[in-house]
Amino acid sequence: MAPTLEVISKPCGHPEWEEPFVVNMGPQHPSTHGVLRLYLELDGENIVKCDPRIGYLHRGLEKLSENMTYTQAMVLTDRLDYISSAANNVGYCLAVEKLLGLEVPRRARLLRTIVCEMARISSHLLWLATHALDIGAMTVFLYCFRDREWLLDIYEKICGARLTVSYPRIGGVRLDFTTEIIEDLYQFTEEFPSRITDYETLIDVNRIWLKRTKGIAVISAEKAVNLGLTGPSLRGSGVPYDVRKYKPYDAYEEVEFEVPVGKSGDTYDRYRVRMEEMRQANRIIRQCLDKLSETQGEPVVAEGAPDLLMPEKRKKPQAVPHPKKGFLVKGAEVPVVPEGEVYVSIEAPKGELGYYVVSDGSGKPWRVRVRAPSFVHISAIPELIKGHMVADLIAVIGTLDVVLGECDR
Amino acid sequence: MKALELLKEKFPEAILGEESSAGQVSVYVKRERLLPVMRFLHAELQFDHLADLCGVDYLGWKGKNKKAERFEVVYNLYSIPQRAFLRVKVSVPEEDPWVPSVTSIWEVANWFEREVYDMLGVRFEGHPDLRRLLMPEDWEGHPLRKDYPLEIEEEWPAYQDLKQKACELSRFEWGERRLRGE
């Protein structure tokens, strides 16, 4: 029998009341950012034990993609971290391209970098909005959503979708940018840095904000690496590990940007890191836009890229059947995607998003494994919450920036 | 590949083989000797970031590169100071699926191992808390195995109990029904 809600009916003064009080937080809770369920044992307001229970959004993405062709499985990756779907697509495409040995054209790499950084900004904006709302700064919420709306409108112009974009494809991107989109993006990058400054004036030295974030969920650098934290959550502790710098992909080698790191590894530092990352993302988009004019008119899909309708199996051209005997000579199978395995990771807005793809030579992946940053971050919650109170748990969930679609897959 | 040579020098008997695919090197390690090898990699060669830990089921594998056993547990390691990548693999037979747990070295392995146990049924010896993670605790079978069907017709048995429980709890419901005293 699965554990369900038990209604406790104990009389007052019963000895069992002395035991730790058990509370289920979630799965339906506004500040768990999805269907995260936390099993808490409390002593007054202090947390004695915290045990995250996940799986409420488990859709079996890994099993499903084993039964689809490579191009079909890409659509599933949109549904991982649905706030930054473009970054998920890019990671998957990079993995399959590495198996195929494809070289992506420069223009496509620049376009991918732009959509990835747009995803980063929109993800961080949503994080800031909800995180601030959770711990009591109401004003930022609507301002952030206003700017995110702007980005989503640009996404709509790029590919027709706002949330699940599926804009990159194996071997490049689906469509080139029109001049209208480039103008829009120029306007966005022009105005956005001043917006970040606006948000910072709202909460940077806000007394409530400082009280809720300074010294909360402190984690040292070694501990953070050992717990597998990546992305801004790790950089807040002072480790400059960024996949964009350590294992550059797409056009990150040719653009200039800095990796902001924190010092004390508390919630406030992670907030500062993310704010600074938005500025850097804006800078990257700007540089890529300038470089786009150099590659005007070049193709956006690699020459040897597989068709969107990928065959499950491919045969060598068959020998002509003998007219008298009338039987077909069976052709040998040619691998659609060469046999092999690859682990490719990208710097998604939440952290390191890794894809481990195993191919057996057919048109369907043998195994697609997604290393989701949110999965690892949720597993670190019990460690981060040690010695804190229930109200700080909200700050911890917010600062880790978890998305349950990615965690449960 | 410097790390690989050092590893072969230190543990000549534990390394069963190596292969390379898409520019990435994988090492097969004997399952009984996994823990010393991993400790050496973590402490001496600075592979401090266990990027990923997953299991693969090779039932009915038709590739040219033959697999010795049905399951494989794959460790993707990354060294942040050295900027080096190494993949370690362990072959796990179907009859006796167990692997030593590496939670004592990398804490991040805790949930990764629970997921592999849940999805493939590989046990991790020495794991502090080996329970199902994504599936319900009373689920039967391991969904990522290749012989597990993609769609199942039957209803999950615990679902009946859940529905019954929901009926019982409806007396705590808010709104009209409660006002009517139903």
How close is the nearest chain A Cα to the Cα of B13, in Å? Answer: 25
Is A8 a residue whose pLDDT tops 70? no
pLDDT of residue B180: 57
Segments forming the whole domain that contains residue A401:
70-305+336-408
Which CATH number is A135's domain given? 1.10.645.10
Is A322 a residue whose pLDDT tops 70? no
Indicate whether B73 belongs to any domain.
Answer: yes
Indicate whether B166 belongs to any domain.
Answer: no
Q: B49 vs A228: CB contact, 8 Å cut-off? A: yes
- Phi first, then psi, for residue B28 (nearest 5°) are -90, 125
Indicate whether B155 belongs to any domain.
Answer: no
Confidence band (pLDDT; 50, 70, 90) for B175? low
Indicate whether A184 belongs to any domain.
Answer: yes
Cα–chain center distance at B62: 23
Q: Domains in chain A: how many in total?
A: 1
Q: Which is more confident, A4 or B38? A: B38
Q: Give the C-alpha separation, B96 to B148, whole Å.
A: 19
- Chain A residue whose CA is closest to B158: A1
Looking at chain A from residue 239 to 278, which residues have their Cβ under 8 Å from any Cβ of chain B? 239, 241, 246-247
Percent of chain A with pLDDT over 70: 89
Lowest mean pLDDT among A100-104, A341-345, B65-69: B65-69
Is A1 a residue whose pLDDT tops 50? no
What mean pLDDT comes out for the span B147-169?
Answer: 81
Please state the pTM of the whole predicted model. 0.85
Indicate whether A43 belongs to any domain.
Answer: no
Per residue in B11-55, pLDDT tens? 888 788 888 888 888 888 888 888 888 888 888 888 888 888 999
pLDDT of residue B177: 57
Q: Domains in chain B: how many in total?
A: 1
Indicate whether A310 belongs to any domain.
Answer: no
Segments forming the whole domain that contains residue B51:
2-136
Q: Give the C-alpha separation, A403 to B14, whole Å.
A: 40
Is A4 a residue whose pLDDT tops 70? no
Residue A57 near chain B (CB below 8 Å): no
β strands within A237-350, DSSP E: 314-315, 333-334, 340-348
* Candidate from A246, A342, A379 with C-beta closest to B22: A342
What mean pLDDT comes out for the span A211-215?
Answer: 85
CA angle A365, A369, A373 (to 5 degrees): 145
Helix A85-100 and helix A70-77: axis angle, to 10°?
A: 150
What mean pLDDT comes out for the span A23-47?
Answer: 82
Indicate whether B170 belongs to any domain.
Answer: no
In whole numbers, what is the pLDDT of chain A averaged over residues?
84
Confidence band (pLDDT; 50, 70, 90) for B181? low
Q: A226 vs B48: CB contact, 8 Å cut-off? A: yes
Residue A159 near chain B (CB below 8 Å): no
Indicate whether B180 belongs to any domain.
Answer: no
Indicate whether B152 belongs to any domain.
Answer: no
Q: Output DSSP code: residue A301.
A: B
Q: Give the C-alpha separation, B163 to A80, whole Å.
A: 29
What mean pLDDT comes out for the span B116-130?
Answer: 89
Which CATH number is B89's domain given? 3.30.460.80
In whole numbers, what is the pLDDT of chain B averaged over residues?
84
Per residue in A14-34, pLDDT tens? 666 667 778 888 787 777 777
Q: Give the C-alpha separation, B108 to A91, whole Å.
A: 22
How close is the nearest chain A Cα to the Cα of B112, in Å? Answer: 8
Is A13 a residue whose pLDDT tops 70? no
* Candidate from A98, A226, A358 with C-beta closest to B108: A226
CA nearest neighbour of A409 among B146, B54, B130, B149 = B54
